């Protein structure tokens, strides 16, 4: 039993893992491919982060590397959806949550404008009808 004391044990903090461990760098490569595709073809890319196996610290490291841009939006529909531009124009983080603020989905969307912020055709059709009614009866008496 006395030989057990001779065995060296080194305890490492999981957060201090080398940068090459984890998914941040491969995801950044995917973002780069998506940006090139957006520039060349106009086609957006969506990366589903919620489906990826993140290890300890991966998400925070990725968010730190992407940084924060100038634009943020929040939508309230069946729970909050938060959208923010990263430090790279055309690269957006979209975080969908339920009414208990539990994450349902987390995406990187590479596009000029995130799809969730675009008005849908049906909504535009409804807006035209309502606006025409407002113009026809500005006082709302009918």
pLDDT at 135 over 80: yes
pTM of the model: 0.76
Question: Number of H helices and number of E strands within the chain?
Answer: 3, 5
Phi, psi of 134 (to 5 degrees): -65, -40
CB 28 within 8 A of CB 88: no
Residue 27 and residue 62: Cα distance in Å, rounded? 8
Q: 65-117: per-residue pLDDT in tens?
A: 999 999 999 999 889 999 999 999 999 999 999 999 999 999 999 999 999 99
**CA 127 to centroid of chain Cα atoms:** 29
**Domains of the chain (ranges, CATH numbers):** 14-136 (3.30.1370.140)
Q: 10-43: per-residue pLDDT in tens?
A: 555 555 545 555 788 889 999 999 999 999 999 9
Of residues 29, 24, 32, 35, the one with CA closest to residue 111: 35
């Amino acid at each position: 039993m006395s030989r057990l004391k001779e065995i060296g044990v080194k305890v490492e903090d999981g957060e201090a893992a080398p940068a090459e461990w984890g998914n941040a760098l491969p995801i950044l490569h995917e973002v780069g491919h998506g940006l090139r595709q957006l520039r060349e073809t106009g086609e957006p890319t969506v990366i589903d982060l919620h489906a990826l196996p993140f290890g300890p610290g991966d998400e925070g490291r990725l968010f730190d590397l992407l940084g924060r841009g100038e634009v943020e939006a929040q939508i309230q529909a069946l729970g909050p959806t938060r959208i923010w531009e990263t430090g790279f124009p055309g690269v957006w983080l979209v975080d969908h949550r339920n009414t208990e603020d539990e994450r349902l989905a987390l995406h990187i969307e590479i596009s000029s404008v995130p799809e969730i912020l675009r008005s849908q055709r049906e909504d535009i059709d409804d807006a035209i009808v309502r606006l025409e009614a407002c113009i026809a009866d500005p006082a709302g008496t009918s």
